[in-house]
Amino acid sequence: MNFAVPKYLTTVTFFIGFMMLSTTGTSLVLFPPKDIAGMLRNDTESINSTSTDYGHIVREFPAAVFNPTSPNDIASLILFSNNNSDEPFVVAARGQGHSVRGQDLAPEGVVINMTALSSGSRIVVSESPSLGSYADVGGEQLWIDVLHATLDHGLTPVSWTDYLYLSVGGTLSNAGISGQTFRFGPQISNVYELDVVTGKGDFITCSSTKKPKLFYAVLGGLGQFGIITRARIALQPAPNRAKWVRLLYSNFSAFSSDQELLISTSGKMERDGFDYVEGLLLMQQGPLDLSFYPVADQPRIASLVNQYGIVYTIEVVKYYDDSTKDTVDKVVEKLTKRLSFVPGFMFEKDVSYEEFLDRVRNEEKMLQSLGLWDIAHPWMNLFVPKSRISDFDSGVFKDILLKQKVPAALTLIYPVNRDK
């Protein structure tokens, strides 16, 4: 595992009324306002826990960690940084630390521990004539908690990420992409309003009609235009269960054509189409995760992978509830009947809606038990135009990963509609 080695170690000492930050060759004395001085921490545990992220590739030590009790505290910290007599110090908001290249680190600066805002009710479900159902959610809240809180009202957000133990502010600062994106767009396309603390320390409420430039800059803005402290998220009625299907392909052209067919029809016919469309690779050099499939079928799936080197998997889901439980099987049969997967290699599960959305959690627990979760996680997301996706398959999947026997770990591939 490779880490960026810090050029020096930072030791921090607190004195009454001011903070002294000492580093090799430098010394910086700060006088934080009384209202936020007690929220700054520089103990070893706080510093070390915020010196790296999920990627475990970059390591940078902050001078302190800030634990706000309200968005106003965050504004006060940023104003303090801007008014520092020497120069503004680096400030980085951190939710679950799920960046992979150190984006939420603050070398020699201050990391804002957004989870400190979690006290009290920060998920409120409401309804209005103009918006319908929505939830006002603190930026520090986890999507899994948003799911639980909205399900209590029979409601759910419409667009998700594959992993739910991420903060709302974190995914909305990126995009929030998953298998529902082809229909509803990413999570950032399903937000009505934001509360934001800007780089000037201003606390601003914005939307598509109120300060729209700030609204659209912050959504997907990688935290560079403001810190999200609240988001108003669109909701819809929640289903009860999910038909979860995987179909295996030996031919990339058939695989990609069928995926494109599914998002074109499902996007237009919500009632009769699939609600979720993704795809993934099973590769000969492994690691080969067959845990989704029945144990009795795993040997023949492994044989198929060995025969072709790469097996392409379409993963689709159809949600249903009591009103559609008698017709859901016919809908799935109709949608899969015209697809060109390898005959006999269609596999299905029937699970609760929550179990499907929270599916990655069990994989995380397994990796944690094996000591494989807190390791380097290089991860890349790419948007490839439809006209070049076949070249990507031949040039990357086959000529690089397969021929050079590069362990690929998890590789997802699925289309989204450009107009979403």
Mean predicted confidence (pLDDT) in 407-418 = 88
Average pLDDT over residues 12-24: 36
**pLDDT tens profile 281-321:** 999 987 889 999 999 999 999 999 999 999 999 999 999 99
CA gap 24, 11 in Å, rounded: 9
**CA 307 to chain CA centroid, nearest Å:** 34
pTM of whole model > 0.85?
Answer: yes
Instruction: Give the containing element (helix H, strand E) for 59.
Output: none
Task: Give 79-101 pLDDT, tens digit per residue.
Answer: 999 998 678 899 999 999 999 99
Closest residue by Cα to residue 173 from 248, 126, 225: 225
Where does the chain hold its CATH 3.30.43.10 domain(s)? Answer: 37-117
Instruction: Kindly state the greatest CA–CA separation across the chain.
Output: 73
CA–CA distance, 110 with 116 (Å, rounded to integer): 14
- CATH number belonging to domain 37-117: 3.30.43.10
Region 51-74: what's the mean pLDDT? 95
Angle at 237 between CA 234 and CA 238, to 5 degrees: 105
Separation of alpha carbons 172 and 186, rounded Å: 9
Identify the sign of the CA torsion 158, 162, 261, 185: positive
Residue 26 pLDDT > 90: no
With beta carbons less than 8 A apart as the criterion, state whether 64 and 22 touch: no
**Percentage of the chain exceeding pLDDT 90:** 79
CATH number of 123-237, picked from 3.20.20.10, 2.60.120.10, 3.30.465.10, 3.60.15.10? 3.30.465.10
Spell out the long-range contacts of 206-209 with Cβ–Cβ below 8 A and sequence spacing 24 or more: 207/232
Report the C-alpha gap between 273 and 328 in whole angstroms: 10
Choose among 107, 44, 117, 108: nearest CA to 74: 117
The CATH number that domain 241-412 falls under is 3.40.462.10
Dig out the tokens for 162 from the structure: 């594959």
Distance CA 119, CA 263 (A): 41
pLDDT band at 228 (very low <50, low <70, confident <90, very high): very high
Calculate mean pLDDT across residues 267-294.
Answer: 85
- 267 — phi, psi (to 5°)? -70, -30
Q: What is the DSSP string of 346-366?
A: EEEEEEEHHHHHTHHHHHHHH
The ranges of the chain annotated as CATH 3.40.462.10 are 241-412
Collapsed DSSP state (helix, strand, coil) of residue 110: strand
Sheet arrangement for strand 241-249:
276-283, 310-320, 241-249, 346-352
Residue positions annotated with a catalytic role:
98, 162, 278
Mean pLDDT of the chain: 89
Q: What is the CA radius of gyration of the chain?
A: 24
Give the H or E element holding residue 312.
strand 310-320
Q: How confident is the model at residue 10 (pLDDT cuts 50, 70, 90)?
A: very low
* CATH 3.30.465.10 residue spans of the chain: 123-237
- Whole-angstrom distance, CA of residue 226 vs CA of residue 208: 16
What's the DSSP call for residue 128?
E
pLDDT for 323-375, tens place per residue? 999 999 999 999 999 999 999 999 999 999 999 999 999 888 888 888 878 88
